[in-house]
Amino acid sequence: MPFANFHLPALIFSHCHKPFMCVEIKCISLSADAQKEEEELRRWKEENRPGPIQLAPERLGGAVSLAEVRQRQQVELRQSKLRKTLRKEEMDQKKRQAEEEENEKKKALQREKATKLEMRKKQEDEQRQKLYQDDKQMKTEEFLQRMERSSSSVSMAASSSIPASSWTKSHEYRDTRREEENSDLLKKKEEQRRKAEILEEKQKQQEEDRKRRTEADHRRVNMAFLDRLEAGSSGRVPEPMTQTPESTNVWLDDDDDDDEPQDTALSTVPNPSELHTDSEEENDCGHMRTLMKLQNRFPYYELDMLEEIIKQCNGNYQQAYELLDV
């Protein structure tokens, strides 16, 4: 340093004649003091610097294999996921319980409000009835008095008869109204009974018409079948029968499609001279099976006629079906 600390103030104050020069000299002295303190701090840090650390050698890690460490990590990961799921479920359950409790509180509050409202309505009705009860009684008395005056003016000639009281007149009026209502009810019941009879008669007529149409269709089909048998025995060509949709619906059943023969090329109408060749040698079981099939397929033919046709066809179901399929 250029100047010593103990000589600087005396020199400064001895040669300082102006104020601004004194301030400048004071700043220079302060900066010199700061530099000196910094130098002393640096020297102290160098003297008190810590030395190197001497530690005993020690083995760090390597006691567990890598596969075991990874397995532990996977287990911890699964456990953390499970704990997270359980924590989430617990939070959801608490939330639901809180919502249910809040809903129950709201419901209880609403029930309490409804009960209070109902009680208030009942009280208002009772007050209204008490308030208007006197007025109602007064109006009733006025009405009965008017009725008495009108009845007395009409029946002035019958002065000997005792005038009826208001209670008797009210009961007579009620009896009259009841009789009128009963007569109206009897009229309505009579009208309903008459309508039911007309409807029943109409249904019976429709049922009879349907039966007549069905019988006519049966007769027409039977006649056509007999004509075919006669034509087959005489060798002439039978006339085709015109079928109506009603007769087709009567004779055909859509649920028995499995009973219809599949091979139509083998089904031919036999010669009447060959129908009775093997009737004595047929099997009873096959005969009954064929009869049941034909009866299911053609339920409106008579059983004797079906047995005769099976005998003529030697128990052949396809031939009998071709004969009956008009």
Residue 106: pLDDT over 60: yes
**Mean per-residue pLDDT, 222-246:** 63
Name which residue leads in pLDDT, 49 or 248: 49
d(CA 154, CA 152): 5
Q: What is the pLDDT of residue 4?
A: 41
Q: What is the value of pTM for the model shown?
A: 0.24
Whole-number pLDDT of residue 257: 42
Query: Residues near 300 by Cβ (< 8 Å), separated by ≥ 6?
Result: 218, 221, 250, 251
According to the model, what pLDDT value does residue 77 have? 93
- Phi, psi angles (nearest 5°) of residue 101: -60, -40
Residue scoring higher pLDDT (119 or 279): 119
- Give residue 156's pLDDT: 57
Asked whether residue 111 carries a pLDDT value surpassing 90, the answer given is yes
Of the pLDDT bands very low, low, confident and very high (cuts 50, 70, 90), residue 119 is very high
Q: Is the pLDDT of residue 213 over 60?
A: yes
Q: Which H or E run includes 155?
A: none
Mean pLDDT score, 125-149 = 82
Return the C-alpha torsion angle 35, 41, 42, 46, nearest 10. Answer: 160
Which are the contacts of 145, defined by CB distance < 8 A and separation ≥ 6?
Answer: 166
Angle (nearest 5°) at CA 83 between 80 and 88: 125
Taking residues 291-307, what's their average pLDDT? 79
Averaged pLDDT for residues 246-272: 41
Residue matched to tokens 């064929």: 290
- Structure tokens that stand for 136 in this block: 């109602």
